[in-house]
Structure 1
Amino acid sequence: MAAAWVGAVEQTLLRAWTRRGALAWGLLPLTALYALLYVLRRACYRYGLAKPQRVDAVVLVVGNVVVGGAGKTPTTISIVEHLRARGLAIGVVSRGYGRNSDAASVEVLGDTSVDLAGDEPLLIKRSTGVPVFVARSRHAAACALLAQHPHTQVIVCDDGLQHYALYRDIEVCVFDDRGCGNGLLLPSGPLRERWPRRPIKALGQHTENLLVLNTGGVAQTGQFVARRSLAPYAIDRNGKHIPLAALYAPGHEPVMAVAGIARPERFFDMLRAQGVPLDKTLALPDHYDFSSWPPNIYEGYQLICTEKDALKLWQHAPHSLAVPLQQAAEPAFFDTLDSHIDSALRSRKD
């Protein structure tokens, strides 16, 4: 099964990125090429050869410098919910990784297909209800959003930390318990960019406007802490809540957990921590679409998965259950975020 092979490669790299072993050193020639392109690209913006584009709203970028599974999307959702609760008009833009559409920009609605929206933008839309637009260019997505929702005050850019074409007012960088891993750039290590970095003021990057959130529960100096856990219930495709305890009640069919995310074992461990007995697990590549997944793999099992996977899995296995991930950041994070948001909003009025 090709997907299993791709998943195995992903997990091998994730393990290799925790130390500077033989695989990391062997990939150094490719890392040198990546580093050269990275330096040249940043130099273009630093010295004015390329310029970011602005939009008529405060732009808050959420992203990470470490590849995969740090908690970027749950962070985006929690920020959107917090700002919306304050009464602010919020919108979200994203590239929509994995979507199969050549459309210049797409407004994501609750019933938009995953192929058109991408799994993470669709999850954000269904979780928050705010306007969500996807496009290959985040600037194009932001312009389309403002054209349809001109009173939007804050645009949250999901996964845009390294997307320099859109000027940003505030940045949130998300780490987890891996930290910077082995400290090397891709593909020898997990870093998309050097960290700590040297801000480029022309992009809107400033040390004082950067918030670092650690979802691993233990933060380093200068970082805020968020804790993640699974909900004590699962959701079926109709939105009905089912207690996890029901999955290990006497007579219940065996449970198979599947995960097409960056760190599937993390999801499996969290299920076991909730007391769910997993009779079988299957780790799949991140953003796996399940379109070629044969039914004989899960016959006789109760399937459980993440909310992101469920958006695709329900099309092929409608009786699957999704277990939501709950994330809570410390109050100081939101206090600091509010201060930056208020300052940026005042600056736009001046």
Structure 2
Amino acid sequence: MSAWIERVWYGGSRWKFLLWPLSWLYLLIVAIRKAVFVMTKSTAEADATSLRPPVIVVGNLTVGGAGKTPLVVALVEYFQRRGLKPGVISRGYGGESESYPVLVERHPDPKVTGDEPALIHMRTGCPVVVAPRRAEALQKLLDVYDCDVVISDDGLQHLALPRDMEIVVVDAQRGWGNGLCLPAGPLREPVRRVQSVDLVVSNGLHAQVGADYMMQLRPVRWKKVSGGEEKSTSYFAGRTAHAVAAIGNPGRFFATLADLDIASIQHAFPDHYSYARKDIEFNDNLPVLMTEKDAVKCKSFNLENAWYLEVGAELNSAFYERIDARLNELRSHKKHG
């Protein structure tokens, strides 16, 4: 995200007033699109709901990362611990394939699948299917795999995707920005959209907005990008390192390194950036530290001293109880419907 856009969306720049008319045009297009979809939606599509497993959409209202993928991973791992068979669908931002849908295989190529689907599959081992049209990804997932529950990594605004539960994730540091829709602000939809979703989860403890639950990303361990070695989170404490991040909010990662007492030389790249080896060769002996999302794209470089920070999303038990209650409600409805 450019520094200028950052100032307009999150820093109070007066440029937002000049862009405001374009935001109204954007809202008009969104409203027309929704109206056309509702008018053309068939009864057969609605009837098919009873024939598939529950679909949980984890999305956000703002452009850029808010913490959706860590929450998707946490949900997948929770369902796996309960003995269920979750599957994940995704748009696959940053990837490009000659044909879709794409099944994310054991050794995925992030250039084809996108970085986040590759991360989710490598971290959890669960089935992941990628397609620009998420409804097609859902159908492929259900055709190939036996899933009890499906999680969509993003897709809140993908109208054709059927869903039974919507979870919005918001970055506690950034909130809703200036509260305006694109391009004057970071919102894909007006803030009032949260009134129609099932849950709002704040990524961080100091949310600027109301949220039902808080999620905290906790460092777990350092892992070597090329595989094999693991180190404790304190391993680089008191040292200087290069820090690279191609995520929606690189500052969050850099702040985490500071919390771990690491002096970082910061290298921020655009979200979903496709790395070349030269991007992370700094011609010195300092370690290179990155996020797990970056690591899936750098693994093939066989870097000698590059490490990624594995993090875990912590949510209280009430969050998962709410998820279970909703799934039980859906099962009961289908059983007696």
Same fold (TM over 0.5): yes
| Structure 1 residue 266 corresponds to structure 2 residue 252 | yes
List alignment gaps of at least 5 residues for structure 1: 1-6, 200-206
Show the 5 A alignment for 1:103-182.
Answer: 103-149=99-145, 151-177=146-172, 178-182=174-178
CA offset at residue 186 of structure 1? 0.9
Aligned twin of 2:229: 240
1:283-321 deviations in Å (ceiling 9; x for gaps):
111111112735653543311100000111232352311
Distance 1:285 1:36, change over 3 A: same
CA offset at residue 348 of structure 1? 2.7
Distance 1:70 1:281, change over 3 A: same
CA offset at residue 232 of structure 1? 4.5
**Structure 1 counterpart SS, 2:122:** helix
CA offset at residue 103 of structure 1? 1.4
Show the 5 A alignment for 1:215-230.
Answer: 215-218=203-206, 220-221=209-210, 223-230=212-219
Aligned twin of 2:262: 276
Question: Which residue identity is paired with 1:32?
Answer: W
Whether the 8 Å contact between 2:225 and 2:298 is mirrored in structure 1 is no
Show the 5 A alignment for 1:66-81.
Answer: 66-81=62-77
Q: Give the Cα separation in 2 of the matches to 1:230 and 1:179.
A: 22
Distance 1:140 1:195, change over 3 A: same
Show the 5 A alignment for 1:285-296.
Answer: 285-291=270-276, 293-294=278-279, 296=281
Distance 1:210 1:298, change over 3 A: farther
Aligned twin of 2:6: 14
Whether the 8 Å contact between 1:17 and 1:182 is mirrored in structure 2 is yes
Aligned twin of 1:333: 319
Distance 1:228 1:113, change over 3 A: same
Distance 1:14 1:326, change over 3 A: farther
Question: Which residue identity is paired with 2:176?
Answer: C
Distance 1:228 1:245, change over 3 A: closer
**Structure 2 counterpart SS, 1:297:** coil
CA offset at residue 85 of structure 1? 1.4
Please list every run of at least 4 consecutive aligned residues from structure 1 whose deviation after the TM superposition is greater than 6 angstroms: none
| Structure 1 residue 348 corresponds to structure 2 residue 334 | yes
Aligned twin of 2:201: 213
Question: Which residue identity is paired with 2:4?
Answer: T
Question: Which residue identity is paired with 1:49?
Answer: T
Question: Which residue identity is paired with 1:333?
Answer: F
Show the 5 A alignment for 1:8-47.
Answer: 9=2, 11-46=3-38
Question: Which residue identity is paired with 1:225?
Answer: M
**Structure 2 counterpart SS, 1:327:** strand
Distance 1:347 1:298, change over 3 A: farther
| Structure 1 residue 313 corresponds to structure 2 residue 298 | yes
Distance 1:344 1:263, change over 3 A: same
Distance 1:153 1:259, change over 3 A: same
Q: Give the Cα separation in 2 of the matches to 1:295 and 1:317.
A: 12
CA offset at residue 326 of structure 1? 2.1
Q: So what's the TM-score if we normalise by structure 1?
A: 0.87
**Structure 2 counterpart SS, 1:213:** strand
Aligned twin of 1:184: 180
Among 297, 303, 306, the alignment partner of 2:282 is 297
Aligned-residue identity in percent:
34
List alignment gaps of at least 5 residues for structure 2: none
Q: Give the Cα separation in 1 of the matches to 2:67 and 2:281.
A: 32
Distance 1:294 1:215, change over 3 A: closer
Distance 1:12 1:316, change over 3 A: farther
Moved more, 189-198 or 123-132: 189-198
